[in-house]
Amino acid sequence: MQEVLHAAEHALAATLHILPFLLAAHMLLELIERSAASRKRLSLLLNGKLAPAAGGALGLIPQCGFSVAATKLYAAKHIGLGTLIAVFIATSDEAIPVLLSNTAALDKVLPLIGIKLVYAIVAGYLINALLRMKRLRTLKKSAAQKELAASADSKAEACCVHKAESGGRVHVCCVHGARSVALTGSVEKTKALYRVHDFMRQPLLHTLLIAAFVFGVNFIFGLMFELGMEEAIASFFTRYRYAAPFVAGLIGLIPNCGASVVIAQSYAIGALSLGAAVAGLSAGAGVAYAVLFKENKSLKQNIGIVLGMYLGGCLLGLTLTLFGY
């Protein structure tokens, strides 16, 4: 019973910790939906050249509130995938406070933060560059198809219009199957998504719904850690050095601050190498993964993001481990 109470207490504290970020993200989304000008300005800001670097820097702040807010913005298509990944990689949840509280492990903090920040920024810009190249190829292909279609239409129209006078009337006929286009309907004005008096009601409602979901996830995984999972993981790390990055990466994927605490404590006492710690904390994004699967509608995309985070973190961690770090 005591473990259940502790898990509930930690889950409530973690949920309350991210409430301001959730509310701010929902209010921002509300402003965006209300104003076309706001959408344009925010798009330029959140998708500008500095977006991945800014995302990586914000992710370093020791909590998962920014990763949750970034997830909401990504699900609403207001930030790019590269910026989201930069935030996710840089996020360390409670790891930095745990390391700073251990005076014997202070010299381990800067290397960990530095590697994660560089990795986050490089990955963010690389993903954005690859997506930009893909979009350009798609646009070029689409433009070429439109040009071919326009050329075919002009040839068809040149041979399809014939005038034949019969009884003073002009008949326009079309041969060779030329297309006929009819424009129907009228342009309707876009209705406002929310009325003025809903401005705070909607963000508050959505914030509370997400907070309840986050609390449930935190409670379930918190209870697992309360029941002795932490000791078993630390023991495994000391025994299997080269498998540690892959196991730490799996632990990092757990959407709960307990995962980052386990990794940080194991790293602080020397049970976990720098490479394995980087793998675990780079793969993790706190409770943002749970929010991602709830808010983003593309399951395939969500799975791809999680797999990419895990594999990228593990490969970096294994590389550091092979070099003796």
| Minimum mean pLDDT range among 17-26, 88-97, 175-184 | 175-184
Average pLDDT, the chain: 76
**Binning pLDDT at 50, 70 and 90, where does residue 175 land?**
very low
What pLDDT was estimated at residue 69? 83
User: Is the CB of residue 221 less than 8 Å from the CB of residue 259?
Assistant: yes
| Minimum mean pLDDT range among 46-60, 68-82, 174-188, 203-217 | 174-188
Mean pLDDT on 123-144: 87
Pick the closest to residue 52 from 142, 108, 128 (CA basis).
128
Q: What's the pLDDT tens digit per position in 87-121? A: 999 988 778 877 887 777 788 889 999 999 999 99
> What does pTM read for this prediction?
0.69
**Binning pLDDT at 50, 70 and 90, where does residue 267 land?**
confident
Long-range pairs, 108-114, Cβ under 8 A, ≥24 = 108/267, 108/268, 108/274, 111/274, 111/325, 112/267, 112/274, 112/277, 112/278, 112/281, 113/60
**Binning pLDDT at 50, 70 and 90, where does residue 29 land?**
low
Helix axis angle for 244-252 and 274-283, nearest 10°, is 30
Q: Would the CA dihedral through 91, 297, 216, 33 be positive or negative?
A: positive
**Binning pLDDT at 50, 70 and 90, where does residue 144 land?**
confident
What pLDDT was estimated at residue 162? 47
**Cα–chain center distance at 97:** 24
| Minimum mean pLDDT range among 21-25, 162-166, 314-318 | 162-166
What percent of the chain has pLDDT above 70?
68
| Minimum mean pLDDT range among 149-153, 155-159, 254-258, 289-293 | 155-159
Q: Which residues contact 96 (CB under 8 A, 6 or more apart)?
A: 60, 62, 109, 113, 264
What is the C-alpha R_g of the chain?
27
